[in-house]
Amino acid sequence: MGLDEGTVSWQELLDESISRLQEAGVEDALISARRIVEEASGFEGAELVLHFTEPATKRCVAHLDSMMARRMDGEPLQYVVGRWSFRMLDLLVDSRVLIPRPETEEVAGWAIEEAQRFETPTVVDLGTGTGAIGLSVATEVEQSLVYLTDLSSDALAVARANLIGTGRAAARVTISEGSWFNALHQDLQGSFNVVVSNPPYVREDDELPAVVRDWEPGMALRAGADGLNDLLPIATEAIDWLVPDGALVLEMAPDQTQVVAEHCLAVGFASAEVRADLSGRARAVVARTPGGTTD
Ligand SMILES: C[S@@+](CC[C@H](N)C(=O)[O-])C[C@H]1O[C@@H](n2cnc3c(N)ncnc32)[C@H](O)[C@@H]1O
């Protein structure tokens, strides 16, 4: 592009960006161009339309150019713009973390519902990545105490940055590094009202779309031959960390839900319910420990 300051409007830049992305074969050229122009201009949604005729500064055009080059290279839009919305949060997202998925917003919702059964719930989000699930709980459930854990120090650096963005809720959040429950102090055993996790669950042999395989962190995705290497041990151990009538909320692939639900019952949970996401696909298991009124 390389246009001089004051010579080109945001409308022209948007049109040109759409054409460039289409020519480069980017699938969601319209959406990508729009988000990139929004990010470069600082105007979002209807605000951008109001400023369409304004000229872009040289600095903004340079920012736009660098984002366009990354998108045309195939990098996911979320990493290119560096932030993505998740429920009520605007999360920092980069290649150190998995991009939070829409179905995970529903999983976070189920964890929130489980937490709301208690007055001052203590909740842990294991393998938090951006912090999407745990920070949603902290933001949407007043009085909750939330722990975020991950094995990746890189991911936790992103979660920490997102924690700052939650304002007052941040005071109720603790971050710790380590493998699953090992990240937590032993004294916390038996004290969690909710354990929630979206662990890696992709089978070793499963083909991933190139954009996921080439750009997102492998350790956030793969979990052994059957994809159950993390799900089953988390379910087994969760029993020791939950209060009576506490809840385990686990995200997984549709064809893993039955096995995981049966495993939960086998290791001592009183109930294990499979939940479907908005597209109707079995997406999570919500299991409760004994001690509820129906036991
Ligand atoms: C599928 S991603 C989910 C990220 C985030 N919770 C979300 O829903 O967007 C799985 C996360 O688990 C973390 N992880 C992988 N192995 C782990 C382990 N052994 N202990 C703790 N976290 C682990 C990864 O670093 C990654 O952040």
pLDDT tens digit sequence for 159-199: 999 999 999 999 999 999 999 999 999 999 999 999 999 99
Q: How many angstroms is it from 272 CA to the middle of ligand 1?
A: 22
**6 has a pLDDT exceeding 70:** no
Superfamily of domain 85-288: Vaccinia Virus protein VP39 (3.40.50.150)
Q: Which residue of 85, 91, 93, 98 sits with most ligand 1 atoms within 8 Å of its CB, as the best mutation to test the pocket?
A: 98
Confidence of residue 210 (pLDDT cuts 50, 70, 90): confident
Give the whole-angstrom CA distance, residue 39 versus residue 280: 33
Mind giving me the DSSP string for 245-284? EEEEEEE--GGGHHHHHHHHHHTT-SEEEEEE-TTS-EEE
Give yes or no for residue 237 CB within 6 A of ligand 1.
Answer: no
This prediction has a pTM of 0.94
Structure tokens at 184: 């937590």
**Alpha-carbon gap, residue 21 to 164, rounded angstroms:** 34
Give 217 Cα–ligand 1 centroid separation in angstroms. Answer: 10
* Average pLDDT value for the chain: 95
76 in ligand 1 pocket by Cβ < 6 Å? no
Is the minimum distance from the CB of 239 to ligand 1 under 6 angstroms?
Answer: no
Indicate whether 229 pLDDT > 50: yes
Binding site membership of 135 for ligand 1 (Cβ less than 6 Å) = no
| Centre of ligand 1 from the C-alpha of residue 74, in Å | 24
Residue 193 has what DSSP assignment?
Answer: E
What letter would DSSP give residue 157? H
Q: Using an 8 Å Cβ cutoff, are 163 and 213 in contact?
A: no
Q: Which residues of the chain are in CATH 3.40.50.150 domains?
A: 85-288
- Round to whole Å and give the CA distance between 269 and 289: 5
pLDDT of residue 129: 97
Q: Whose CA is nearest to atom 11 of ligand 1?
A: 127
Cβ neighbours of residue 81 closer than 8 Å, sequence gap 6 or more: 35, 36, 39, 67
Classify 110 in phi/psi space as left (phi over 0), alpha (psi -120 to 50) or beta. Answer: alpha
Domain 10-81 coded CATH 3.30.1130.10: no
- Tell me the CA–centroid distance for residue 236 and ligand 1, in Å: 17
Q: How far apart are CA 251 and CA 230, in angstroms?
A: 11
